Homo-oligomer: A and B are copies of this chain.
Amino acid sequence: MPLPYRWLTSLMVRYNGSTILIDCGEGTQIAIREKGWSFKPIDVILITHFHGDHISGLPGLLLTMGNADRTEPLTMIGPKGLKKVVNSLRVVAPDLPFDINFVEIEGGEQAFSYLGLDIEAFRVKHNVTCYGYSISLKRAGKFDADSAKEKGIPLKFWNRLQKGETITEEGITYTPDMVLGPDRKGLKLTYCTDTRPVPAIAAHAKDSDLFICEGMYGDDEELPKAKDHKHMTFSEAATLAKEADVKEMWLTHYSPSLVHPKQYLRVAKSIFPNTVLGEDGKTVELNFEG
């Protein structure tokens, strides 16, 4: 439940002028506004599952996006039943100046490509159907002038090929890989909340630059409660982060009873040192290496 000074768990990913929002609980639009971010470029909304704290802010957000004069269609991705649930919530937002394309995830995992980003949805284990999401940005290889010369590629095409274009002239086809070295390390983030720790999480979070994971309970003694409510302890989240060999993990989705998450940070750090506590408005800019 939303608390004073603790918004519900949500993630906004901004890349290249577009925005992906993951989950939208009650008050998420206020949290976005506190950051001073715009609603208009939200092109894709990913929903983990249909519990109120992850979706009940949606009608208000859609109204606000409509008030911001958005007309471009919005894509929404989520578990089966997404269209029915969202349209039911939209009883208070029936008229929007933009269309919504609903994409309901099939099966245990599904890959999508939007806005130049690769999105992977993977099923996790909660008391309703719930998905985690990985979002990846590929990085092309370095431009290799020697290789381009060697292959006799006309100079006038170099720039276009480097930008990813495929060009055909006089029956010859030139492809970007002809002028580029092997792909370099890109960026990856994984977002995962409302679940027990399951192998799919570590598998999909593998090598993420940022892994955002629920930590409903700080105290290891609350493990039975975590199992009951299909959530995780800090230790369980840290173990996943270690297995996935991520660069950094942010904990989030604290239980309202967890008033001082800081108290249990060392528990998580003892398992995965690069654990950071999520807090309202927490932001990071991820950049390519080197």
Which residues of A come within 8 Å of B, CB atoms? 1-4, 25-27, 29-30, 33-34, 50-53, 55-57, 59-60, 63-64, 67, 84-85, 88-89, 91-93
Contacts and interface: CB of A to CB of B under 8 A. Distances in A.
Nearest to A57: B26
A3 B30 contact: yes
Contacts of A2: 27, 29-30, 60
Contact of A60 (B26, B33, B92, B93): B26
Given A3-B30, A26-B29, A59 B67 contact: no
A206 to B, nearest CB: 32
A50 B52 CA distance: 19
Contacts of A51: 92
A217 to B, nearest CB: 17
Given A1-B67, A63-B1, A92 B56 contact: yes
Contact of A27 (B30, B59, B63, B85): B30
5 contacts: A1-B63, A26-B27, A26-B30, A52-B59, A53-B60
